[in-house]
Structure 1
């Protein structure tokens, strides 16, 4: 997945979160960001990575988003790997 594709997927995930009043509130609360800041940072690749990190915290959220977007379930992790900080960690 290219970085551009990953950013597009993350923007779609952000829009999906924003459509869910309950889940969007959890996202805002857990990140400490305001709704206005979300709009201002929606094109920032590091912020978009944090959107995917949040989504990946719960398999049910990933499944619901992917089902709504018509995407395979592994697409969230593939997109996350293509964004800043998503490279595979090597511990050796």
Structure 2
């Protein structure tokens, strides 16, 4: 399945809900992004914020596995969603 921007936003919103409901990861996410609890609702539809959700989630394989298993997604889908959102430039390692 191709990753469309609409699908990427849906995956990001699912990830945001998953993070918000995770007592261990929610504080880590808020601390790492500088977002507050009120920001979760206010910025949920902002593609840049959605990208930060997916970037945070994909930092740890165990988080990706837990999220994807809960939502019936392939393990590649969160990262593919991140790259389908605005601001995901190519990474150059040289």
Query: Aligning the two structures, in what range does the TM-score lie when normalised by the shorter sequence?
Result: over 0.9
Of the three residues 34, 38, 41, the one matched with 1:39 is 41
Q: Answer 1 or 2: which has greater helix percent.
A: 1
RMSD: 1.4
Secondary structure in 2 aligned to 1:64?
helix
* Structure 2 counterpart of 1:64: 66
What do residues 1-28 of structure 1 show as CA deviations (whole Å, max 9, x unaligned)? 0001000000000000011111101101
Matched ranges for 1:1-92 at <5 A: 1-89=3-91
Question: Structure 1: 5+ residue runs without aligned partners?
Answer: none
SS of 1:57's equivalent in the other structure is coil
TM-score by length of 2: 0.91
2: CA distance, partners of 1:80 / 1:31: 16
List runs of 5+ in structure 2 lacking aligned partners: none
> For 1:33 and 1:13, how far apart are their aligned partners in 2?
15
CA distance in 2, matches of 1:91, 1:54: 20
| Number of positions where the alignment pairs a residue of Structure 1 with one of Structure 2 | 92
- Alpha-carbon distance in structure 2 between the residues aligned to 1:42 and 1:73: 22
